[in-house]
Amino acid sequence: MTREKALSPFNLAVTAVFTALVCVVTMLFSIYVPGTKGFFNIGESMVFLSALLFGSFVGAIAGGVGSMLADLLLGYPHYAPATLIIKACEGAVVGALKKKNPKFSSRLHWKFFTLVLGVVAGFLLGWIGTAYYSGEVELTLGTGSFMLYVPTEFWLFLGAITTFSIVALGFLADPEFGWTVFSVITGGFVMVLGYFLYQLFLIGPLFNIEVVAIVEIPVNIGQMIIGAIVALPIAKIVWRALPYLKKK
């Protein structure tokens, strides 16, 4: 994307809207994680959606700035500097990869690729959910917090639904959908790695906060998968209604 196109009135307006959406959705639903002094949230969904629909520029600015504002407003200033950079990189990677859709030699290759990604995503969600988010969890909705019991069966069911949905979309609707899933998962792992390195090397010296960095890995993988579950179907619907967006 050229500098002129990135700074066009349309792109700037879309960036402003999605920056606000990322911030609001991140704040809307969160689960406190004591081991890292951070929180699980569903803001990844809007970071992914902005990058898939409007490319790496919008994804980077909306993801970085919107997520950073949510950290500050929710009372996690020790994560704000890292979030600005990490979420910006995440949005940029998703947007850039989605644009470079490779051409496999046959539709069968695409379907197999989508099948593998669907199974991996469903397994990760089921495993991480049952291991880390089952039982009593502290849930925050907006400004209110309360305890909630989440059965393990919920995550197993959600994992199965995730696998079925991704595979169905790839097999029945669009064989190349697998590359979109891959773009989102790759960007998500950039986020996972970024927070792990920040917690391992920087959050202590910068803010004198002790955290267990490895605890954040499954938390952020779960956050990535949930974000993908929300963003991918919405992007698919929008592309069907406004096909020119798929080429951005």
Query: Which residue type is seen at 156?
Result: L
- Per-residue pLDDT reduced to its tens digit, 146-202: 677 778 898 899 889 889 888 887 777 677 788 998 999 999 999 999 999 999 999
Average pLDDT, the chain: 87
**pLDDT for the residue 103:** 74
Among 187, 179, 170, which residue's Cα sits nearest to residue 227? 187
Task: Say if residue 107's pLDDT is above 70.
Answer: yes
Q: Is 145 helix (H, G, I), strand (E, B) or coil?
A: strand
Confidence of residue 4 (pLDDT cuts 50, 70, 90): low
CB 60 within 8 A of CB 1: no
Q: Which of 19-33, 99-113, 123-137 has the highest mean pLDDT?
A: 19-33
pTM of the model: 0.86
Sole residue written with tokens 């080429």: 247
* CATH numeric code, 3-247: 1.10.1760.20
CA geometry: angle 70, 72, 76, nearest 5 deg:
100
**pLDDT for the residue 165:** 84
DSSP 45-102: HHHHHHHHHH-HHHHHHHHHHHHHHHHHHHT-TTTHHHHHHHHHHHHHHHHHHHHS--
